[in-house]
Amino acid sequence: MKILVANLGSTSFKYRLYNLEGENEQMLARGAIERIGSPNSKITFQSARGDAESVEPIANHGDAVQSCLDQLIDPELGVLEEAGDVAAIGFKAVHARNLTGVQRVNEEVLVAMEAFADVAPAHNPPYTKAMRMLAERFPNLPLVAAFETGFHRTIPEANQRYAIPEEWTTNFGVRRWGFHGASHRYIAGRMAQLLGRSDLKLISCHLGGSSSLCAIRDGKSVACSLGMSPQSGLPQNNRVGDFDPFALPVLLRETGKSLEEVLDILANQSGLEGLSGAGRDLRDIEAAASGGDAKANLALGVYIAAVRHYLGAYLVELGGADAIVFTGGIGENSVTIRSGVCRDLDWLGVSFDPVANEGGVPERKVSAAGSRIEIWTVPTNEEIVVARQTRELLASSS
Q: What is the mean pLDDT of residues 261-272?
A: 96
The reply to whether 281 sits in an annotated binding site is yes
Tell me what pLDDT residue 11 has: 86
CB contact at 8 A, 178 and 233: no
CB contact at 8 A, 108 and 98: no
- Domain assignment of residue 188, yes or no: no
Q: What is the mean pLDDT of residues 153-170?
A: 97
Say whether both 127 and 233 belong to one domain.
Answer: no
CB contact at 8 A, 146 and 389: yes
Number of C-beta neighbours around residue 107 at 10 A: 9
The tens digit of pLDDT for each residue in 163-221 reads 999 999 999 999 999 999 999 999 999 999 999 999 999 999 999 999 999 999 999 99
Say whether both 213 and 275 belong to one domain.
Answer: yes
Say whether both 361 and 217 belong to one domain.
Answer: yes
- Domain assignment of residue 168, yes or no: no
* pLDDT value at 265 more than 80: yes
pTM: 0.94
Number of C-beta neighbours around residue 248 at 10 A: 14
Which value, in Å, is the radius of gyration of the alpha carbons in the chain? 21
Say whether both 376 and 228 belong to one domain.
Answer: yes
CB contact at 8 A, 202 and 216: yes
The reply to whether 92 sits in an annotated binding site is no
Q: What is the mean pLDDT of residues 104-129?
A: 94
The reply to whether 24 sits in an annotated binding site is no
Tell me what pLDDT residue 250 has: 98
Tell me what pLDDT residue 18 has: 98
- Domain assignment of residue 394, yes or no: no
| Domain coverage including residue 73 | 2-147
Would strands 323-327 and 201-206 be described as parallel, antiparallel, or unpaired? parallel
Q: What is the mean pLDDT of residues 323-347?
A: 97
Tell me what pLDDT residue 397 has: 84
How far apart CA 43 and CA 261 sit, in angstroms, is: 34
* pLDDT value at 229 more than 90: yes
Say whether both 218 and 101 belong to one domain.
Answer: no
Say whether both 260 and 351 belong to one domain.
Answer: yes
Say whether both 216 and 139 belong to one domain.
Answer: no
The reply to whether 331 sits in an annotated binding site is yes
Nearest by Cα to 342 from 363, 312, 322, 369? 312
How far apart CA 184 and CA 211 sit, in angstroms, is: 11
What sign results for the dihedral spanned by CA atoms 72, 76, 80, 82?
positive
How far apart CA 383 and CA 313 sit, in angstroms, is: 29
Say whether both 28 and 105 belong to one domain.
Answer: yes
What sign results for the dihedral spanned by CA atoms 251, 256, 259, 261?
negative
The reply to whether 14 sits in an annotated binding site is yes
- Domain assignment of residue 239, yes or no: yes
- Structural domains of the chain, count: 2
At 231, give phi and psi (nearest 5°).
-85, 0
Tell me what pLDDT residue 248 has: 98
- Domain assignment of residue 159, yes or no: no
- Domain assignment of residue 230, yes or no: yes
* pLDDT value at 10 more than 80: no
Tell me what pLDDT residue 104 has: 97
The reply to whether 357 sits in an annotated binding site is no
Least confident of 122-136, 205-219, 245-259, 375-389: 122-136
At residue 161, the 3 state secondary structure works out as: coil
Say whether both 230 and 341 belong to one domain.
Answer: yes
The last residue of a domain, from among 147, 175, 207: 147
Say whether both 214 and 142 belong to one domain.
Answer: no
The last residue of a domain, from among 83, 117, 147: 147
The reply to whether 333 sits in an annotated binding site is yes
Say whether both 250 and 102 belong to one domain.
Answer: no
Tell me what pLDDT residue 137 has: 87
- Domain assignment of residue 173, yes or no: no
Task: Please report which residue ranges of 230-361 form alpha helices under DSSP H.
Answer: 248-255, 259-268, 271-276, 282-290, 294-318, 328-333, 335-342, 354-358
* pLDDT value at 9 more than 90: no
- Domain assignment of residue 326, yes or no: yes
- Name the pLDDT band for 156 (thresholds 50, 70, 90): very high
Tell me what pLDDT residue 326 has: 99
* pLDDT value at 317 more than 80: yes
Q: In CATH, what number is assigned to the domain containing residue 241?
A: 3.30.420.40
Say whether both 229 and 371 belong to one domain.
Answer: yes
The tens digit of pLDDT for each residue in 17-45 reads 999 998 899 999 999 999 999 999 999 99
